[in-house]
Structure 1
């Protein structure tokens, strides 16, 4: 009896230490993200010292005035930070958090460590919708929400196609979902290429070409609200269903035994993922590999419990994409690299590493 009590006390102590360590990790990631935002608005073609950047942010956010309180502030630097860099950095935070969350949920939903919105064809559908909006209808359709609207329609269409193809035969399996995602991705990518080839709008084609490689250069304050709202609500939805995601990792038979309707859960997760992906693709183009590599990196530190994995992945995804954008706009003396190139150069070797591993560490802990 005493031995059992000691084991219980030891397990409780271990659980408390893990909880404290995780809270410390989240606190560190949050503080690191805040520091990253300040540093990111300082870096670029025009270098701004962090002290002045902080004064500018305080001036704009809290309407503080007076040189005796804040110190000198350059009007040019204020415009650079507030009108150009800060919206761009915040869009990187939003997109990175959303893509990392979607990748985490997709990997659990289809029980495949290589799954993310891009592999399942959702991003290809969103890309087709946005290409259609830019080249054939004009980005100003639907009260200024044309690109976002059509990107979401395309993502939802890809989602429905994947569900329909994977459901052939009456049973929705993970293998069939991956194959259906490959079919959907090829189909929607081909249709987008066809629209680009047949369109007579040279300027629109250049815009789409640059946009398909991913870019945050067009970030504006007016364009942040919609993707931010979608990502926040979507991430909150995933977080409150994190226990269900843990059950999915146990396997189809175990999940069914525990009363989980696998088909319903997968459809719901795919639709929410389509919403988030569509909004992100509409705002900043196609940015690959974030949803693939971030969950794997974080899983190595916090384990596969989605109550810890999801919030940590959201923060790490925001950090990763923010620094990727800093590199994209700093690596060239004039101009910038599309951020999709940076993430692909980072993600491709990691993708190869995942494929070569004998064990993915993709089980519930």
Structure 2
């Protein structure tokens, strides 16, 4: 049956016509995703405890971008809600979603394992240890580096621990990477919980506990520069690495025959992912499954070639987290639901469907 479908497809689109058809389909995907993401972002800014029309939202954003502090016929309170609260939060949600999805697809290619992502390999848990230390023990240990730096060093330490454990005895294997990631993740989670439990600061304990569930509620304009800049730079850089990522996905032997230093590239990519994950976790806490589900969904439609896959993954990750954050704001009548809880509730069934609903297409 499968061979018949393939033969029919080739017959309908003989020779290079099939490639041209696929390219035509793909040519409208990126503009379509971009437009749809913009529409969803405007909707997320407009919807909340205070409902604002889409036209008023666009007028407020246009006026602020034009340098005007007041918008005619719109209450100043609504202007403040849109520009000071919701726009930074939606931008941060899109940025974090894109960054986590990018980190997931890079890790999956680097270690040739479809289960790899920052949350599962312990990088996010390492970042959480650094952030919990900064929140609860920063004054005690007397080292003031700021929450983002603490989270980055925690993520980097977890990455080095995973690489060291997986490389003990023999060369690094993908199975050992996942197992080492599970060990490091469990240790980091236990350490974070121990610090939270032993701390005497009740307010800090509540903040750390809520932070480890993932939240975008603290988004502010002055905190957007670093995450937006780093995600944009990482996206551009990895889009220039698509040939190497494709070769690594096919296996070490093939990559070595193409002259690629697999071990060096893997360590470099993992360090970049640690930097990206640490920065994002420092901004919003642990948000799982984005880096696992989004790459699989995109790969199941467009295949494993990173030239097409990476742009779709970046836009889809941004779209997914904007929608998840919107739901986290409106599902509960009082207060926000931590977005990390919601992404797990949405992501786990989607991943189960991808895992058991069809054959494994990783690297296919």
Q: What TM-score results when the alignment is normalised by the length of structure 2? A: 0.92
Aligned length: 352
Deviations for 1:79-134, whole angstroms, at most 9, x for unmatched residues? Answer: 00001000000000010000000111111111111111111110010000000000
Give distance in 2, aligned partners of 1:354 and 1:180. Answer: 24
Cα distance change of structure 1 residues 66 and 107 upon mapping to structure 2, 3 Å threshold: closer
Q: Distance in 1 between matches of 2:117 and 2:357?
A: 18
Distance (whole Å) between structure 1 residues aligned to residue 112 and residue 252 of structure 2: 9
Counterpart mapping for 1:185-204 below 5 A: 185-204=185-204
| Contact 1:298-1:313 within 8 A present in 2 as well | yes
Query: Which residue number in structure 2 is paired with residue 57 of structure 1?
Result: 61
8 Å contact 1:113–1:360 — kept in the other structure? no
| 1:4 aligned partner | none
What is the 5 A alignment of 1:24-39?
A: 24-39=28-43
Instruction: Give structure 2 stretches of 5+ with no counterpart.
Output: 1-10
How far apart are the structure 2 equivalents of 1:138 and 1:347?
Answer: 37
Aligned residue in 1 for 2:285: 285
> In structure 2, the residue corresponding to 1:154 is in which secondary structure?
helix
- 2:300 and 2:259 map into 1 onto residues whose CA distance is 29
Mapped partners of 2:154, 2:222: distance in 1 = 23
- Shift, 1:170, TM fit: 3.7
Q: Distance in 1 between matches of 2:270 and 2:359?
A: 26
CA contact (8 A) 1:324 1:339 kept: yes
Residue 239 of structure 2 aligns to a residue in which SS?
helix
Shift of 1:263: 1.0
Correspondence for 1:230: 230
1:174-227 per-residue CA deviation (whole Å, 9 max, x = no partner) reads 111111111111111111111111111100000011111100000001111111
Once residues 58 and 105 of structure 1 are traced to their aligned partners in structure 2, the CA distance between those partners, rounded to angstroms, is 36
8 Å CA contact 1:126, 1:277 repeated in 2: yes
Which residue pairs with 1:104 in the alignment? 105
What corresponds to 2:175 in structure 1? Answer: 175
Q: Which ranges in structure 1 are unaligned for 5 or more consecutive residues?
A: 1-6
Residue 10 of structure 1: how far off its partner (Å): 4.9
**Residue matched to 1:260:** 260
Within a 5 Å distance, the mapping from 1:1-20 to structure 2 comes to 10-20=14-24
- Which residues in structure 2 correspond to 1:72-221 (within 5 Å)? 72-137=73-138, 146-221=146-221
Matched ranges for 1:242-257 at <5 A: 242-257=242-257
What are the superposed Cα offsets for residues 303-348 of structure 1, whole Å, 9 maximum, x if unpaired?
1111111110000000000010000000111111000111010111
Quote the offset at 1:352 in angstroms: 2.7
What is the CA-CA distance between 1:138 and the residue it aligns to? 5.2
- CA displacement at 1:75 relative to structure 2: 0.7
Structure 1: 4+ residue segments shifted above 6 A: none
Task: Please give the alpha-carbon distance, in whole angstroms, between the structure 2 residues aligned to 1:358 and 1:320.
Answer: 22
Q: How far did 1:19 drift?
A: 2.6
Q: Conserved in 2, the CA contact under 8 Å of 1:213 and 1:339?
A: yes
| Residues 315 and 142 of structure 1: CA distance in aligned 2, closer, same or farther (over 3 Å) | farther
1:150–1:33 distance in 2 versus 1, CA, 3 Å: same
Q: Distance in 1 between matches of 2:204 and 2:30?
A: 42
CA RMSD of aligned residues (A): 2.0
CA distance in 2, matches of 1:254, 1:284: 39
Q: Which moved more, 1:245-254 or 1:332-341?
A: 245-254
Aligned-pair distance for 1:253? 1.8
Q: Is the 8 A contact 2:329 2:336 kept in 1?
A: yes
The one-character-per-residue Cα deviations of 1:219-273 (angstroms, maximum 9, x if unpaired) are 0011111111221112222111111111112122212222222211211111111
Offset of 1:65 from its aligned partner? 8.4
User: Displacement, 1:78?
Assistant: 0.4
Summarize the Cα distance change of 1:138–1:52 in structure 2 as closer, same or farther, 3 Å threshold. farther
Distance, in Å, in 2 between the alignment partners of 1:192 and 1:105 is 26
Cα distance change, pair 267–357 in 1 and its aligned pair in 2 (3 A): farther
Change (3 A) 1:227 1:109: same
